[in-house]
Structure 1
Amino acid sequence: MKILYLTWLDPATTDYPLFLAQQWETMGHNVRLFPYDLEFSNRATERLDISLAWERPSLRSLLLKRQLDRVCQHLKPDVLLSGGFFLLPEDMHRLQKRHHFKLGYIIGYNHLMEGATVTALQAANFLIVHDSYLIPILRGTRYGKIPHVFFMPCMADPLEHHPLPLNGQDQQAYGGDIAFVGGHSENRISALRQLTRYDLRIWGPSSWKQFADLAPFHRSEPVYGLKKTKIYNAAKIVLNIEDNEKQINAISNRIPEVLACGGFVISDWRQDLADSPLQEGKSIVTFRTFPELEEKVAYYLSHPEERKRVSEEGRRIVLGSMTYAHIAPVLASQIADVVRGD
């Protein structure tokens, strides 16, 4: 298949589209990544267009439509896969009518009530969701639902996420008792406030600084690539807390990524985690209440041998069933069925 993948590609924002595209290319598919947020050009006039467009949404949309049209003319994609709602539904429909591709969206978090999301989804040929909660809401043949809704569970890339030897400088910079990577939400703030007596490192956007009691624990550097892998290797505990307003059942790729690095994770309980190959107390540790979180953090910090046992089993399971090499072929097969009209 020829896949044009329009998505966010700033590595400090997300990196899974790159891993997914690389795996599909390894399988023999022709994948063209179209970065919505990292555009560049060697032509001065186009650089000026891009600079001005970021300040004016209407111009930004016009430029994006023009660029997509040009790429579609050259690539003639079977599929346009969009990692966000970057164009109005009617604009995407005109592109689809002109270039005859199948249109799919990846829904990374639950924002069905935002903007023109519902209208855009109804025009798609297929959807890929990260949260299983959305499947019965979106899949169907009546009431504006979509027959083809596919599930994308969390994944790791062992070439990126793996154990690393760390020197003393790395350990000091990226270690600590507890590492949290991500933005803020009400439930995340409440959870982290239970843990301020520990060596806590919060890696995320500068907006964390608005919370006076948590600001001293904030690390301002962007986290991606090798730095993220070092954090996952260095921290005694990597804490995963899903944003309650973004996810319901879903879990972050952070869980298999940390485990693939040989790290130890404590996560809030989610249904998709319970349905995954990971098992509570054997390959993953979860909590449902803040007192339980405090209890488990204290226990596992004082029992490094237990952390090692759980992380080793977690890594074995992730490498055996939770990588892009395992999951990307399933998604590609499902998309190919849509392209063929099966």
Structure 2
Amino acid sequence: MRVVVLGAGGAHKTEASIVRAVRELGHACRLVNVVGWSRGAGPLAPRAIRYLADAFEPDFVLLTRHAILAGERTIRSLLRGRGAAFWYFDLQPRPPALALVAERMYTTYLGQVERYRAAGVPHVQFLPQAVDPTRDFPVSAVDPAFRCDASFVGSGQYAHRHAVLRAVAAVSHLQVRGPGWAGVPDDLPVAGGPVHGRRLRQVISAAAISLGANSHPEQDAERASASNRMWKVLGCGGFYLGPYVQDIEWLAVGGRHCAWYRSAADAADQTRHYLAQHDERRRIADAGRAHSLRHHTYARRLELLLAGRAYEPAGASDQPVIAELEHPDPGQPLDRP
């Protein structure tokens, strides 16, 4: 199969992980950087994007949210007579235009499936994000400045997550990094700006606990949904403490692959507990990485997407961690059957 991905360019973008996974499955794949062409070519961008995609003669076109920059007319022309799907990673109450154009949509939020179907998208399926073994792996050498009890990496403009961060900061040495933290209250321990790639791996490896925190209240009421932050932490061998939502253990089991909190106070209590339990914390982190590499890589996800199938959560996290995966080597792609 020949696959074109229309989306954003950049080594740390999800599109790069998708392309690697498609190629790992044995398919030819081309990424067309819609964002880059839209910025650089102005009104000529749609023509250039269509040429690059058509010239590859794809059997299947995978769209991410950035593909809309090419314009609906260009997208409709590219999809004519080809298999296609739109994979959406964000929470939004209304279906993006690309979902209606592609007519097949994958969402990382299980609770949104029926809403998008009711809004007129013909085919909507659940497909979470995943680990990219090429980029998400533990490192032993870290910047000493990154060492801390707990770390959070994410955007700062969402006040909903501040309560959890304050609670954890009150019981531990917390470091917060990411964009959008300028001007936030002084009791939030902001340690730096955005981190990607090697620096992100160091931040995760240097922290005893890597924290997750939802950005919107609506996420607290979702089902089986987790930020891509969780997959990066698990892949990098970190201990992940994140917000519990209904059916989240279809992805990873608390106390076995990671830990889930149900309130800001619970997050603080669990932070205290796991900081005092080094061996338990390490065992869970190792099992979480093994589990994610076995069941939750982009190769696994793309195998489903290209076959027109959804992620079937029931029982997905019930399988035991097999012996040879207990201590996987950094960067080793253990997602094959």
Alignment TM class, shorter chain as reference: 0.7 to 0.9
Query: Does structure 1 residue 104 correspond to structure 2 residue 115?
Result: no
Q: Match for 2:58 among 77, 84, 103?
A: 77
- Contact in 1 for aligned 2:243/2:262 (Cα 8 Å): yes
Match of 1:339 in 2: none
Larger mean Cα displacement after TM superposition, 209-218 or 224-233 = 209-218
Q: Label 1:230 to 1:323 Cα distance change in 2 as closer, same or farther (>3 A).
A: same
Question: 1:245 and 1:180 mapped to 2: Cα distance?
Answer: 18
Question: 1:214 and 1:10 mapped to 2: Cα distance?
Answer: 34
CA deviation after TM superposition for structure 1 residue 225, in Å? 1.2
Question: 1:154 and 1:71 mapped to 2: Cα distance?
Answer: 27
Q: Label 1:275 to 1:109 Cα distance change in 2 as closer, same or farther (>3 A).
A: same
Give the residue type in structure 1 aligned to 2:9. L
Query: Does structure 1 residue 146 correspond to structure 2 residue 144?
Result: no
1:1-342 matched pairs, under 5 angstroms: 1-11=1-11, 15-39=13-37, 50-51=39-40, 60=42, 62-84=43-65, 85-97=68-80, 100-113=81-94, 117-139=95-117, 144-147=120-123, 149-166=124-141, 170-184=142-156, 185-197=158-170, 198-205=172-179, 207-214=180-187, 216-220=189-193, 222-244=194-216, 247=219, 248-249=222-223, 250-276=225-251, 278-334=252-308
- Contact in 2 for aligned 1:209/1:218 (Cα 8 Å): no
May I ask how many residue pairs the two structures share in their alignment? 302
Structure 2 portions without partners, runs of 5+: 310-337
What secondary structure is seen at the aligned counterpart in 2 of 1:212?
Answer: coil
CA deviation after TM superposition for structure 1 residue 118, in Å? 4.5
CA deviation after TM superposition for structure 1 residue 265, in Å? 0.8
Q: Compute the RMSD of aligned alpha carbons.
A: 2.5
* Structure showing greater Rg: 1
Q: Deviations over 1:158-185 (max 9, x none)?
A: 332222222xxx2412221111111131
Match of 2:335 in 1: none
CA deviation after TM superposition for structure 1 residue 246, in Å? 7.2
Q: Label 1:288 to 1:63 Cα distance change in 2 as closer, same or farther (>3 A).
A: farther
- Contact in 1 for aligned 2:147/2:203 (Cα 8 Å): yes
CA deviation after TM superposition for structure 1 residue 195, in Å? 2.8
Q: Return the TM-score normalized by structure 1.
A: 0.79
CA deviation after TM superposition for structure 1 residue 91, in Å? 4.4
Q: Label 1:112 to 1:68 Cα distance change in 2 as closer, same or farther (>3 A).
A: farther
Q: Deviations over 1:7-38 (max 9, x none)?
A: 12344xx5322122111112221211112334
